[in-house]
Amino acid sequence: MTMMKKLLTSAVASAMMASGAQAAISNDTVKIGYLADMSGTYRDLAGPNGLKALEMAIADFGGQVNGAKIEVVSADDRNSPDTSSSTVRRWVENEDVDLVAGMVASSVSIAVSKILEENDRLGIISGSAASSITNEHCTPNHIHYVYDTYPLANGTASAVVKEGGKTWYMLTADYAFGHALEGDVTRVVEANGGEIVGTVRHPFPTQDFSSFILQAQASGADVIGLANAGADTTNAITTASEFGVTQSGQTLAALLLFLTDVHALGAQTAQGIQLTTGWYWDMNDETREWSDRFMEETGVRPTMVHAGIYSSTMQYLNAVDATGSDDAQTVRKQMMDTPINDMFAKNGKIRVDGRMVHDMYLAEVKTPAESKNEWDLYKILRTIPAEESYRPLSESKCKLVNN
């Protein structure tokens, strides 16, 4: 064999070995880390039941992928970017975690996504809301799956302004998610001829909303916009009800309200509130069938985040199965190339910026007379098509987008 042939043979062999290494599932194990608020403000909307949704997906997939076992580890993020960063760094650097799932507080997701990019691991964010996660904070190593503040504003704020709510006073959680939602709502309100007349930012989390609600009430604004979530939202709504806010003629706009929040408040308190959601358990036979199984496991109906965690885990495992790899970039590309058609979304797709786009829905909380049982809480007013729901790529600041 000539020297040239030897060099060519060696090069081909090296290329094949490199290709095989990328295609293989590392350690013959797909390891998923579930990170969420397991005990605090956001516990009910994701929390332990989000972990159950992830485990349901793994069980439905068969418990293994391409002969490799699937392992799960989990941790309470305590809504702390520092705690979460430390956990995820340990997972990816010492424990060979391939995918980080869950993630609720936007500040946590933004911090974690940087670590995932540094270590070339994948994250699927299902609970966070800040639209900046796939805008200025985008990375090639994470996907934002269920919803974000852009469609929340396009849906709820747009509807309320068109119904006559022209002047708004914003009550905002003082961290990344609240700031992003306030910004997106301001954009929509002003674009529709309305005005933000004042803003107050509350610490995250907050138990006593009395002073904040009094300030909002004193503003005389048509609408008090709640740019918060979880227990903060339910506490604010309860306080507003006690102070007679809606009885005095002001409208309360809960810009991010989950099914578990409405259930906790009860239809009597929450009736008539309009909200935007990415999914509802009672939409069709497919959503009801999955929700019945989820309720058997947990005792509650699922939020859109629970459903999104199940769907995104299935999409991830399908991508690993199709490619024979747990390499982050290989799997992410396969997920981008594969339309999402399941009980969560129809014709959903993952864009280059990592945003999973799908139809959203404007809903209204039923009155006690309309509700047939404790979980029969929403009536869907209209579908907001995917192309109208999310920030267009032409407006993106994401480094992955060539505008």
> Over the chain (403 residues), what is each successive 10-residue block's mean pLDDT?
41 39 80 97 96 98 96 97 98 98 97 98 97 97 97 92 95 95 96 97 95 97 95 94 88 93 93 92 98 98 98 98 98 98 98 98 94 97 93 97 82
331-355 burial: b if 16+ Cβ within 10 Å, else e: bbebbeeeebeebbbeebbbbebbb
Q: Cβ distance 272 to 241 under 8 Å?
A: no
Dihedral class, residue 138 (left if φ above 0, else alpha if ψ from -120 to 50, else beta): beta
Q: Cβ distance 376 to 282 under 8 Å?
A: yes
Helices (H), 281-327: 285-298, 304-323
Q: Cβ distance 103 to 109 under 8 Å?
A: yes
Residue 348 β-bridge partners: 340
Structure tokens at 2: 């000539």
Taking the whole predicted model, whether its pTM rises above 0.85 is answered as yes
CB atoms near residue 59 (< 10 Å): 11
* Residue 247: per-residue pLDDT: 82
* Residue 403: per-residue pLDDT: 62
Distance CA 81, CA 39 (A): 16
Q: How many residues does the chain have?
A: 403
Q: Which domains does the chain have, with CATH numbers?
A: 28-147+283-358 (3.40.50.2300), 150-277+360-389 (3.40.50.2300)
* Residue 23: per-residue pLDDT: 58
Structure tokens at 69: 């076992």
Distance CA 170, CA 351 (A): 31
| Phi, psi dihedrals of residue 34, rounded to the nearest 5° | -100, 120
